[in-house]
Amino acid sequence: MRILIVEDEIHLAEAVTQILKKHNYSVDAVHDGSTGLDYALSGIYDLLLLDIMMPEMDGISVLRKLRTKGVATPVIFLTAKGEITDMVTGLDYGADDYIAKPFSTEELLARMRAVLRRKGEVLPDDALKLGDLELNTTNLRLSVGGKEMKLNLKESELLELLMTRKSAATSKEQIIEKLWGFDSEAEHNNVEVYISFLRKKLTFLGSTVRISTIRNVGYVLEVNG
């Protein structure tokens, strides 16, 4: 189950990310509306948590753009107290629920479960596929044809990130943010090490997918051998 949180208060976003990961959701966090829109447009998410008040592009605009572009991913708005009118407008624009900040972990989880249940999202197994690769992010197994092997958490998160970004290059900074957290002091070399581990495993499995390097930019998956 893949969740996107769009929230400009970085610490709140980080806290929610941690909580959801503890409950085995796959989580991406971004901190402004237009980036959030880009990510959400990929259509890979099962649920969006959208802050309403944000600089640049507010949550309601993000939602409106998404819906006009035909993306129907369920949305829960995060609202500060006193934004009730915003909230009402939000529900008008097709949000599925809202939560007033501050909220408890339990309330967040309950509402997410409720929305997901209402939407009847029973994904048989959320496996990511690209080329001959199949990554099951619920049990960290990667398979090519019949062959299968286990990944560890960071390998899995890295591959997941690359697979969901599709043909767009992913920078080392983005990778560090996702794997180590936004305020981490991880070095570029850490990323290189895990890229190396992954390449070794892709080769071992005989996949036709390769991780190609774009100097000074980042990494991209190439589907064809």
The Cα-based distances of 171 to 28, 38, 88, 130, 177 in angstroms read 15, 16, 38, 20, 10
Binding partner selected for residue 130 from a copy of itself, DNA, none, CB under the kind-specific 5 to 8 Å limit: none
Kindly state the smallest distance separating residue 189's Cβ from a copy of itself, in Å. Answer: 17
Report the alpha-carbon distance of residue 98 to residue 87 in Å, rounded.
Answer: 7
- Sign of the dihedral through C-alpha 17, 80, 46, 61: negative
Kindly state the smallest distance separating residue 168's Cβ from DNA, in Å. Answer: 16
Rounded to 10 deg, the angle between the 188-205 and 172-180 helix axes is 90
27-35, 78-86, 87-95, 106-114 -> range binding a copy of itself (CB under 8 A): 106-114
Report the alpha-carbon distance of residue 169 to residue 188 in Å, rounded.
Answer: 16
Site string for a copy of itself, 166-205 (x = CB under 8 A): -xxxxx-xx-------x-----------------------
Residue with tokens 């002091």: 185
Determine the distance from the C-alpha atom of residue 19 to the mean position of all C-alpha atoms in its chain, rounded to a whole number: 14
State yes or no: residue 114 binds a copy of itself (CB under 8 A). yes
Phi, psi (deg, nearest 5) at residue 180: -115, -10
Kindly state the smallest distance separating residue 111's Cβ from a copy of itself, in Å. Answer: 5
State yes or no: residue 193 binds DNA (CB under 7 A). yes
State yes or no: residue 35 binds a copy of itself (CB under 8 A). no
- Cα dihedral: 180, 181, 183, 189 (round 10): 30
Look at residues 37, 173, 21, 16 and name the one whose alpha carbon lies nearest to residue 103.
Answer: 16
Interface size with DNA, residues (CB under 7 A):
24
Binding partner selected for residue 186 from a copy of itself, DNA, none, CB under the kind-specific 5 to 8 Å limit: DNA
Contact residues toward DNA (CB under 7 A) are 150, 152-155, 172, 180, 186-190, 192-197, 199-200, 213, 215-217
Contact residues toward a copy of itself (CB under 8 A) are 22-24, 38, 41-43, 69-72, 97, 104, 106-107, 109-111, 113-115, 117-118, 125, 136, 138-140, 150, 152-153, 167-171, 173-174, 182, 214-218, 220
